[in-house]
Amino acid sequence: MTALTRLRLTDFRSHASLDLKLDTRPVCLFGANGAGKTNILEAISQLGPGRGLRAAPLPEMTRRDAPAGWAISATLDDDQKLGVGLETTSTGNKRTIRLDGAPATATDLAELIRIVWLTPAMDSVFRGGASERRRFFDRQVMAHIPSHGSLSSRYEKAMRERNALLERGRVDPAWADAIEARMAESGALIAANRARVLTLLQAAIDARPEGYFPKGDLALDGDAERAAAEGAGMIDLSDIIAEALAKGRYRDQAAKRTLSGPHRTDLTVIHRPTGAPAVEASTGQQKALLIGLILASARALSDDGDGPSPLILLDEAAAHLDRDRRAALFDELTEIGGQAWLTGTEEFLFEAFGDRAQRVEVADATASP
């Protein structure tokens, strides 16, 4: 099990200084709106790959009027010490990472910590556009395969170069071939990662108990992802993407942007109890379905013997559930085994945890166990 037994923040968001000493049980943060609860979850999310649960620029997370950058340090239950921070110098801002006091990389952190989260901003994932669902799914992929983030960055960099060519109105075929080859190479790996994690998530969904959080049937609406799910190899996946890009050049030139590829893939979810697409479900059904997906993702990570169990960050999730659903959520979080961090405005929201969880009151950017 992976758990944080100490968390310290310096000049992070609203927290000038915070020092929490914990055990491995779930952590329930309660306090008034604006007290700084979500900021604590965001700080924890910075310990994993990617840009964190708000996807905020690094300088934005520095406390107002702080003299320099911010720092986060955490101790794991095996006494390993992690540190992430923003160092502000005369040449700009730099993200720093340390492991047991020595310089480290994001890859080093990813081998020790895997994180999944659910925030109120994600409630619109089914009602929003394909880009929202794609980002949601790619976050799950990155929790399972940390290198997925760098692959996406590589693909997007090449796509920006292609779009720049398209905007000029005249595309040099040799130049386009070279750029599209790079997009196809990264895109093939992206598609394979997505197909692999989709299979893991669906298996975890199917294995979850029937109950208050309905099961969903997942699919990826993308040519390369469908081919990957059917067993296509990397060369074939790369060819699928490259051919689609080459055939679409004139169309894309008119649109001045790339209209095909893994960056256009959509996630489709069917609400299994009714057989209806998630977009047609009620707000309550969508929320319950979304919680079920996050629980399945966490369960898949916990069942994966090749990596650590996950940290599960749930921001204000309990507030929108009735008492029975809260109890069911807490039971499943306890069973999954990864350390969960939950926020809520009132302590009574977590009463069904009993002594299975530790409670921390957050007020005016201070925290008291």
Q: What is the pTM of this model?
A: 0.93
pLDDT over threshold 70, residue 65: yes
In this prediction, residue 93 carries a pLDDT of 85
Contacts of 355 (CB under 8 A, 6+ apart): none
Task: Specify whether domain 122-282 bears CATH 1.20.1050.90.
Answer: yes
Fold designation for 1-114+307-369: Rossmann fold (3.40.50)
- The pLDDT score that the predictor gives to residue 286 is 93
pLDDT for the residue numbered 334: 93
Residue 49 has pLDDT above 90, yes or no: no
- Sketch the domain layout of the chain as residue ranges: 1-114+307-369, 122-282
Q: What average pLDDT does the segment 333-340 reach?
A: 91
Q: What type of residue sits at position 63?
A: R
pLDDT-based confidence at 305, cuts 50/70/90? Answer: low
How far CA 81 is from CA of 12, 76, 101, 296, 360, in Å, comes to: 18, 6, 7, 28, 22
Report pLDDT digits (tens) over 217-270.
999 999 999 999 999 999 999 999 999 999 999 999 999 999 999 999 999 999
Paired tokens of 145: 């395969």
pLDDT for the residue numbered 67: 86
Can 1-114+307-369 and 122-282 be said to share one CATH topology?
A: no
